[in-house]
Amino acid sequence: MQQNVARGATPRFVVWLILLSVLAVVFFSVTPLAILDWLGKTLPVFGTVFLGIFIEATPFLLLGTLTSGLVEVYLDKNKIGSLLGRSSVSAAVMGAFLGLIFPVCECGVVPLTRRLFQKGMPLSAGVAFLLAAPVINPIVIISTVAAFGWGRMVLLRLALSLVIAITVGMVFSTEKDASNVLRPMLLAHEHKHDDDLMPKSKLRRALLISADEFFEMGRYLVVGALLAAALQAFIPQSALLAVGNGPALSVIVMLALAILLSICSTVDAFVALGFANSFSFGSVLSFLVFGPMVDIKSVLMYLQVFKRRPVAYLVLLPFLFSLFFGVVINYWYP
């Protein structure tokens, strides 16, 4: 009986042995060479893209955190409400236009918005500022004009960014309890009273707060840049560009590229200009409107200010609005 079992088990053992031998031969002869060749092509792209995003975004993150520290120390909490008005509509409108005063991109605007929330800024104004400021600021306006000239692309980018930012801000104004939207935000140096400090001490405290926020937000910038670089290096963009035909599909592809590329809003107009000849007007416009509001690194930073469900709204609502406007404009300007 035992001999029969042994005889029946031998062929199965031989089959597994042969299969493992074939897999070992394939792995050790073909796969390493293919992997090395693939890594040799993709790793330089990965490193270049990562450094490009990181070096491009770091100065603006530094500007945003420095402004945040100055706001915390020198801006009176009671002045925020009086400047923005009492109604949620006026607060959202004023918040959307604050980018003209604070020229920050999508990286620098997050720590600054968090600080303004701590200073008493209403939800509608803060969300409108968060979404609009990366476009509604002098640096981005000038770069867009330099890329496309003063025309409908510039005007529609500014107008649609304002409309989406104010509308989403109004949606958030329906939430009366800010604790349901915002995360608890405490920093190491917030227990001191700014009015009792000497001018030199105030400046020192502002710089300490800026350093705290720079290193806190900087790690999410690094993670976001790594993810964006990995997606660009390991997923061929030709796969997205090949399906970018049609008034609706082209918009979806460009919205996906806006998240994938994670380009700073100060230079994204020149990147969009490269797609202008092969993609529809509405899809390029949607890229310029949606990209500064939502990309990989900004979403990671949003999670440090808002709870998860509000972040989902901050991603989904601008996406749907950008998709709708892009498709409508494609039918008007085919």
Question: Lowest mean pLDDT: which of 22-36, 46-60, 281-295?
Answer: 22-36
57 Cβ neighbours under 8 A, 6+ residues apart: 105, 107, 221, 225, 264, 297
Rounded to an integer, what distance in angstroms lies between the CA atom of residue 270 and that of residue 56?
14
Q: The whole model's pTM is what?
A: 0.74
Asked if the model's pLDDT at residue 190 lies above 60, the reply is no
Three-state DSSP class for residue 182: strand
Structure token pair of residue 243: 């399906």
d(C-alpha 82, C-alpha 77), whole Å:
10
How many CB atoms are located within 10 Å of the residue 274 CB? 11
Report the C-alpha gap between 216 and 114 in whole angstroms. 12
Contacts 24+ apart (CB under 8 A), 139-145: 139/103, 139/266, 140/103, 140/105, 140/265, 140/266, 140/269, 140/292, 143/266, 143/267, 143/269, 143/270, 144/269, 144/288
What tens digit of pLDDT does each residue of 54-95 get?
A: 787 777 777 767 776 777 677 665 566 566 666 778 889 988
Sign of the torsion angle spanned by Cα atoms 222, 228, 232, 234: positive
Q: Using CA atoms, how far apart are residues 89 and 180, in angstroms rounded to an integer? A: 20
CA distance 121 to 185: 14
Lowest mean pLDDT among 261-265, 287-291, 327-331: 261-265
pLDDT tens-digit map of 85-130: 667 788 899 889 988 887 777 878 888 888 888 878 889 999 999 9
pLDDT at 158: 96
pLDDT given for residue 153 in this prediction: 94
- Residues for the chain: how many in total? 334
In sign, the C-alpha dihedral spanning 325, 275, 295, 69 is negative
75-84, 218-227, 306-315: which has the highest mean pLDDT? 306-315
State the angle between helix axes of 152-173 and 308-332 in degrees (0 to 180), rounded to the nearest 10: 150
pLDDT in tens, 228-282: 677 667 766 666 666 666 788 889 989 998 988 888 887 788 888 877 877 889 9
Number of alpha helices (DSSP H) and beta strands (DSSP E) in the chain: 15, 0
Residues 6+ apart with CB under 8 A from 12: none
